[in-house]
Amino acid sequence: MGNAVGCVSAGVKAPKKASSYGFNPFPLFSSFHGRPRNALQSSSSSSRNKKQKRERIQVDEGSAITSEQALPAALPFHSDQTSSSIPFSRSTSVVHPSLGSKKQSFQRSSSARRRSNNDPLIKRPHQLVNQEPKIESPETSHFVLVHGGGFGAWCWYKTMTLLKESGFKVDAVDLTGSGVSSCDTNSITSLEQYVKPLIDTFNELGNEEKVILVGHDFGGACISYVMELFPSKVAKAVFIAATMLTSGQSALDTISQQMGSNDLMQQAQIFLYANGKQNPPTSIDLDRTLLRDLLFNRSAAKDVELALISMRPIPFAPVLEKLSVSDDNYGSVPRFYIKTLQDCAIPVSVQEAMINSNPPELVFEIKGSDHAPFFSKPRALHRILVEISKITHR
């Protein structure tokens, strides 16, 4: 297995029957170019080819072992984006302090295992090279994992297993209309309704209990909502290729400003109209024939098959809702961002734009990861999460 190393510097209205009539776009929706689909129809089966200085730390992946995808679905796309097919034999984790971060009050933590001769070279301050870093006890041993748009708690099965094997308590939540939830996705009309299962999880925590809250993809907006409600119960927040918003932004705002063109997303998106096409979309589905290229271009076939039978449409109203957060609540929680470098759904440029506009404490990168690092690079993701858990206040 690889070496884990970190270097840290200082009243919902019932939906009407789905309609097959065409959608007359309002100004807000005038840029939709996705394929409309009746909410009760199956998706089309047609397929289409689809700086301050930083300290760099490489991590060997080892031999074992949205909304986001839907956010850009509501944007105008005009040119092709192709995914890379260059094979990667190992992953890279890069960590550096965010240039605009307000807080730089964390202590260094590291793995107990010495670097072997087979581990990649590590660039870090000279005084650390010949020292065995001190191990810090985790501030909390409880992770709460929040999936992205279309996903469910099922997507975290590898991450949950690895974290539990490392001694952590782990909860993965199915948001409303996701995973095993019995709610019809098309009936979800607000972000609050969408994240209610996560709110319930926090209400069940003890008064003094804290968790590390992790959000993937559109789950970033969801954990931000909960950070504002329960700041004293969130020790740290981790955004994995996620929508990290500022107050007054919606997930759609954030992505639309930076996405540019993404023909693959345009081809994959399928709008559902449970209230008739004369009204706005109620959810967004993704063409199953394009999921591998869009979301899982580095993931194993068995995980892609799991996603094909498990993913559900993404509720559209929460994607449009503007987030309201404050410095006293949301702003008091230390945030960390994990970039996925071979991501075709939320490209690195979009991830970096969110990081620059709302700087977290530290930024990590996983080389060779597609939009789903819990599938494509589970051990690298695990090591970063454990590393983050060890970072403590001075």
Name which of 248, 171, 272, 155 is nearest 212 in CA terms.
Answer: 171
Structure confidence by residue, pLDDT tens digits, 93-135: 555 565 555 544 555 444 344 434 443 332 333 222 233 333 3
Catalytic residue annotation: 217, 343, 371
Contacts of 302 (CB under 8 A, 6+ apart): none
Centre a 10 Å sphere on the Cβ of residue 189 and count the other Cβ atoms it contains. Answer: 18
Which residue type does 115 have? R
CA–CA separation, 334 and 285 (whole Å): 33
CA–CA separation, 105 and 365 (whole Å): 21
Per the listing, tokens 């095993």 go with 180
Which phi-psi region, left, alpha or beta, contains residue 82 (left: φ > 0; alpha: ψ -120 to 50)?
Answer: beta
For 212, the 3-state DSSP assignment is strand
Choosing among 3.40.50.1820, 3.30.450.260, 3.40.50.720, 3.40.462.40, the CATH entry for 138-255+262-389 is 3.40.50.1820
DSSP letter string, 84-107: -----SS-EEEEEE-TT-S---B-
Both tokens of 221, joined, read 């907006």
Structure confidence by residue, pLDDT tens digits, 23-60: 333 323 333 445 555 544 443 433 444 333 333 333 44
Both tokens of 325, joined, read 């957060």
Domain ranges of the chain: 138-255+262-389
What per-residue confidence (pLDDT) applies to 393?
A: 63
Per the listing, tokens 């029957």 go with 17
Structure confidence by residue, pLDDT tens digits, 311-364: 999 999 999 999 999 999 999 999 999 999 999 999 999 999 999 999 999 999
Task: Tell me the mean pLDDT in the region 287-310.
Answer: 96
Strand 92-97 relative to strand 362-366: parallel, antiparallel, unpaired? antiparallel
CA–CA separation, 246 and 348 (whole Å): 19
- Check if the beta carbon of residue 366 is closer than 8 Å to that of residue 341: yes
Name which of 341, 139, 128, 140 is nearest 240 in CA terms.
Answer: 341
Chain-wide mean pLDDT for the chain?
75
Q: Based on C-alpha coordinates, what's the Rg of the chain?
A: 20
Question: The pTM is what?
Answer: 0.71
